[in-house]
Structure 1
Amino acid sequence: MLRFFIIFLLSSSLSFSIFASSEAPFKVDLTAEQAKQLAHLIWENEGKQKIEHLTAWNRGEDFPSLGLGHFIWYPTIEKGPFKEQFPQLLTFMSENGIELPEWLTSAQVAPWQSREEFYNAFYDPQLTELRELLNDNLAIQVRFIVIRLEKAIPMILANSTEQERVTLTKHLKRLATPEAIFTLLDYVNFKGEGVNEKETYQGQGWGLKQVLLAMPEYYENPLRSFGLVADEMLTRRVKNAPRDEFRWLKGWRARVHGYQKLNIK
């Protein structure tokens, strides 16, 4: 099977290339300043850059959202439809030399069984310690997010038809600026790759793949076009949702339309 990879080079300048290969890796390289900018962007989008928002449990959700990228951690062994990433983040941190408290390493599921229990314990030692740990290790969380995109593009292409790959490749070539790469990094962390059949409502997804495939054939501003189409996909999600998600749509729209205002150094 033909495989694709994309190399992003973010040193003094950024280039974007697509090649056919069975061996070459997909790589995103950020300068220290760009990694800091990405951290601030995602933290602003997810938690208004407030330490207390590094541990959150949104109304209407069945799980807490933790860390820079609001990574999901289910409180039950049986998982819901959305991709759980917080346990993977803990493993990644541990593998990279971050010492974790014993209660975190031994927990099989999130220790709080409800939103009410979570906020009753919000200033107890465990959640206070967790916020401090996450705040002290923002850089490694950025790397964790980057790795997700490094895996996402080949995954999306591999889970696409030949015609879809042509369309995806065309739009990815247009998304070749530092600002566009930050957009891809943020959106895939925000709403996923779009290849998980469980992450659909009425058979329709809202991930990065769906946004890229729905972009128009011709457009002048790639980031504006991406934001408009992402808005459409998220609005469709809300309309298809089995329960009310309208409360989040305003914030989601502000997030995706904000991409065109990015200025990456």
Structure 2
Amino acid sequence: MFRIVSFIGLLLFSLTAVSHSYSIDLTEKQADALGQLIWKNEGQQKLQHLTSWNRDEDFPSLGLGHFIWYPTEQKGPFKEQFPELLAFFEKNGVTLPQWLAETKLAPWKSREQFYQEFDQQQLSSLRTFLSQHIELQVKFIILRLEAAIPHIIHSSTTAQKKIVKEHIKRMTATPEGVFSMLDYVNFKGEGLSKKERYQGHGWGLKQVLLNMPVEYDNALYAFGMSADEVLTRRVKNAPKKEFRWLKGWRARVYGYQKIVVQ
């Protein structure tokens, strides 16, 4: 459960057994900083990047976290989150635009159509709507990590559990470490879905945690280095060319060690 606490600079974490919840408490200032970090990483903090469709992908990416929305009933291997975000909005009292509330699939059937209609009323109003609910999108991302951590631990072997718990403990010892985990799980997922595998290898948070070295002085650097190795493996194993993304991915994960949270 996400809760804003009143003490500036206070960041509390509680890692318990898988049967219990994992809770992250952030100050309002820290939550806002997280949102701006993710928006910078995903869309350069520009309004137009709240709706995008990458080349060679079969879906648009929408909102602060570039949440996927498939245009067909047949879903691809990547986790679809935009419909879940809309449900989260409604649960928190947000009234969706009528067309958005009534549409179950992304209404743009191709990237070409998407950008032909980019400046028309539907997509323009969607960007405005999403920009008005940044705070809820941040909460949505935090809830994803809170839900993911117990499942990552539970899905691990006995030996893996010890490794994962130790790295989580060290990463959550600082707000910068937590921000890095939050950004990565939003960026590349939990690493739990068997669909999100290339040649049997995943690239999510679980894989990054398991790949971290046993000993290190700088947790953020170790996390970024591990993420680089996991993402490089993904590119090598990918069924279609993904190399063009790797430079940006590396800049993102090595950028974690530059994060400063007030």
TM-score by length of 2: 0.95
Q: Take 2:168 and 2:148, find their aligned partners in 1: how far apart are those partners?
A: 13
Q: Take 2:96 and 2:191, find their aligned partners in 1: how far apart are those partners?
A: 31
Please list, as runs of the form range in 1=range in 2, the aligned pairs for 1:25-104 lying within 5 A after superposition.
25-104=21-100
Q: Take 2:13 and 2:29, find their aligned partners in 1: how far apart are those partners?
A: 19
Q: Take 1:111 and 1:211, find their aligned partners in 2: how far apart are those partners?
A: 35
Q: Take 2:147 and 2:100, find their aligned partners in 1: how far apart are those partners?
A: 26
Q: Take 1:168 and 1:125, find their aligned partners in 2: how far apart are those partners?
A: 47
1:194 to 191, 195, 204: 191
Aligned partners of 1:8 and 1:27 also within 8 Å: no
Aligned letter for 1:189?
N
Q: What residue number does 1:14 align with?
A: 11
Indicate yes or no: 2:161 matched with 1:165: yes
Q: CA RMSD in A?
A: 1.6
Q: Take 1:143 and 1:228, find their aligned partners in 2: how far apart are those partners?
A: 27
Indicate yes or no: 2:178 matched with 1:181: yes
CA-to-aligned-CA distance 1:67-110 (integer Å, 9 cap, x gap):
00000000000100000000000010011111111111111110
Indicate yes or no: 2:121 matched with 1:125: yes
Aligned partners of 1:9 and 1:28 also within 8 Å: no
Q: Take 1:215 and 1:172, find their aligned partners in 2: how far apart are those partners?
A: 11
Aligned partners of 1:194 and 1:206 also within 8 Å: yes
Indicate yes or no: 2:226 matched with 1:236: no
Unaligned runs of 5+ in 1: 1-6
Q: What residue number does 1:3 align with?
A: none
Aligned partners of 2:5 and 2:28 also within 8 Å: no
Q: Secondary structure at the match of 2:65?
A: coil
Aligned partners of 1:179 and 1:263 also within 8 Å: yes
- Relative to structure 1, the CA distance from residue 8 to residue 124 in structure 2 (aligned partners, 3 Å threshold; closer, same or farther) is closer
Aligned partners of 1:10 and 1:30 also within 8 Å: no
Structure 1 runs of 4+ off > 2 angstroms? 7-22
Deviation at 1:112, TM superposition (A): 0.2
Q: Take 2:79 and 2:18, find their aligned partners in 1: how far apart are those partners?
A: 28
Aligned partners of 2:4 and 2:28 also within 8 Å: no
Aligned partners of 1:10 and 1:28 also within 8 Å: no
Q: Secondary structure at the match of 2:156?
A: coil
Q: What residue number does 2:259 align with?
A: 262
Deviation at 1:20, TM superposition (A): 3.4
Deviation at 1:17, TM superposition (A): 4.4
Q: Take 1:21 and 1:35, find their aligned partners in 2: how far apart are those partners?
A: 25
1:116 to 112, 117, 140: 112
- Relative to structure 1, the CA distance from residue 232 to residue 162 in structure 2 (aligned partners, 3 Å threshold; closer, same or farther) is same
Q: What residue number does 2:212 align with?
A: 215
Q: Secondary structure at the match of 1:76?
A: coil
CA-to-aligned-CA distance 1:113-158 (integer Å, 9 cap, x gap):
0000000000111101100000011000000000000100001011
* Count of aligned pairs: 258
Deviation at 1:13, TM superposition (A): 2.6
Aligned letter for 2:115?
Y
Aligned partners of 1:194 and 1:209 also within 8 Å: yes
Aligned partners of 1:8 and 1:14 also within 8 Å: no
TM-score by length of 1: 0.94
